[in-house]
């Protein structure tokens, strides 16, 4: 309801581009509303496969779950686990990502012992009581647990703690719940937990740029850089599409965003300024931004993108370990 009213407000203000939403479920609730108003929506964080090729007025700079799912499964199997329990939020993002993880696990000869597709174990968004689910899951004796959720993760972790689950090297988060929990749990609770996050690791110079801007404009300290590069690139791509098309309306941006992302080849540019200069010279361009994604395909998905692997320490905060590049198939 908040998203719908916000979309109505933005449309009423005459915006031509919207950067967001963070949640795929939120975007699925407003994407038609924006399209009907010819407003271009570019999400830096939506990963649900349901949004691939959704329409000409939706694009994203984050890779779909067809990339994160296999990477997440490879992480689990690479740690020697093969009997996986899932705790999954019952909506497009949760179900879709779980399905891709499970598919890759089963292709590798492993199994979902709880919470798999079709078993009916998913929980409603906003659920706070996980006693029965955790009891049933642990009864299946999994050697690993994958939690696909958002803010419900705090209650899930607390229930797993109360039932004696050992998190170290056995528990896996995804982009929806990869967060710095700090004092939300006792020290060491999440030590050894790992997670996957679509998107490139922001480099030190870019982090400093973001941190400085945030401290000057938001009166606080920026602590999480998830999807920062993708947000930046979404904004620059929209601006370059407007320059290429010679207008700032949503339809013009929609028609030109793939071209400036490099779908037609062209001169590589790394900044908005470089892109404008090349466009004014009559060149096709390929914007190579902070996120390192490939050009947008016909589904308005990036043709390649990075998945970051992160690990929690004793302070219940995560640090970057490595990243892998995945290709997105049409």
Q: What one-character-per-residue DSSP string does 223-253 give? A: ---TTHHHHHHHHHHHHHHHHHHT--SHHHH
Rounded CA gap, 107 and 324, in Å? 19
Rounded CA gap, 236 and 261, in Å? 10
Q: Specify the pLDDT at position 326.
A: 82
Rounded CA gap, 163 and 88, in Å? 19
Q: Which residues of 34-44 are buried (b: 16+ CB within 10 A; e: fewer)?
A: bbebbbbbbbb
Rounded CA gap, 73 and 97, in Å? 11
Spell out, as residue ranges, where the chain has pLDDT lower than 70: 329-330
Q: Specify the pLDDT at position 329.
A: 63
Three-state DSSP at 308 gives: strand
Edge-to-edge order in the sheet of strand 58-60:
17-19, 40-43, 58-60
Which one, of 47, 140, 139, 59, lies nearest residue 99 by Cα?
Answer: 47
Burial (CB count <10 Å: 0-12, 13-18, 19+), residue 131: exposed
Q: Specify the pLDDT at position 324.
A: 85
Q: Specify the pLDDT at position 200.
A: 79
| CATH class of the 65-330 domain in this structure | alpha beta
pTM, two decimal places: 0.80
Q: Specify the pLDDT at position 220.
A: 87
Q: Specify the pLDDT at position 330.
A: 53
Rounded CA gap, 313 and 30, in Å? 37
pLDDT in tens, 89-134: 999 899 999 999 999 999 999 999 999 999 999 999 999 999 999 9
Rounded CA gap, 12 and 61, in Å? 26
| Beta-strand relationship, 111-114 and 144-148 | unpaired
Burial (CB count <10 Å: 0-12, 13-18, 19+), residue 80: exposed
Q: Which residues of 173-186 are buried (b: 16+ CB within 10 A; e: fewer)?
A: bbbbbbbebeeebe
φ, ψ for residue 302, nearest 5 deg: -65, 140
Three-state DSSP at 217 gives: helix
Which one, of 27, 45, 25, 194, lies nearest residue 124 by Cα?
Answer: 25
Which one, of 226, 327, 244, lies nearest residue 285 by Cα?
Answer: 244
């Amino acid at each position: 309801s908040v998203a719908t009213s916000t979309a109505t407000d933005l449309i009423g203000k005459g915006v031509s581009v919207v950067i967001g939403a963070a949640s795929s479920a939120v975007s699925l609730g407003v994407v038609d509303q924006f399209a009907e108003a010819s407003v271009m929506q570019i999400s830096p964080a939506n990963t649900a496969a349901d949004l691939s090729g959704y329409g000409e007025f939706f694009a994203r700079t984050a890779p779909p779950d067809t990339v994160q799912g296999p990477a997440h499964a490879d992480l689990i199997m690479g740690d020697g686990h093969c009997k996986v329990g899932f705790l999954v939020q019952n909506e497009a993002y949760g179900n879709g990502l779980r399905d891709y993880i499970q598919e890759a696990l089963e292709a590798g000869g492993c199994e979902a012992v709880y919470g798999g597709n079709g078993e009916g174990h998913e929980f409603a968004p906003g659920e706070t009581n996980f006693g029965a689910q955790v009891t049933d899951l642990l009864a299946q004796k999994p050697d690993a647990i994958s939690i696909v959720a958002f803010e419900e993760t705090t209650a899930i972790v607390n229930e797993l703690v109360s039932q004696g689950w050992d998190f170290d090297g056995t528990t896996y988060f995804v982009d929806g719940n990869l967060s710095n929990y700090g004092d939300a749990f006792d020290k060491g609770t999440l030590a050894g937990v790992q997670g996957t996050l679509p998107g490139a690791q922001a480099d030190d110079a870019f982090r400093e740029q973001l941190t400085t801007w945030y401290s000057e404009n938001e009166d606080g300290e920026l602590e999480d850089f998830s999807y920062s590069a993708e947000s930046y690139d979404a904004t620059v791509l929209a601006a370059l599409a407007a320059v290429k098309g010679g207008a700032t309306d949503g339809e013009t941006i929609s028609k030109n965003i793939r071209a400036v992302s490099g779908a037609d080849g062209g001169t590589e540019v790394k900044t908005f300024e470089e892109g404008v200069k090349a466009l004014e010279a009559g060149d096709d361009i390929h914007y190579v931004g902070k996120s390192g994604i490939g050009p947008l395909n016909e589904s308005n998905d990036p043709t390649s993108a990075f998945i970051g692997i992160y690990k929690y320490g004793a302070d219940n905060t995560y640090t970057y370990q490595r990243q892998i590049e995945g290709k997105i198939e049409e």
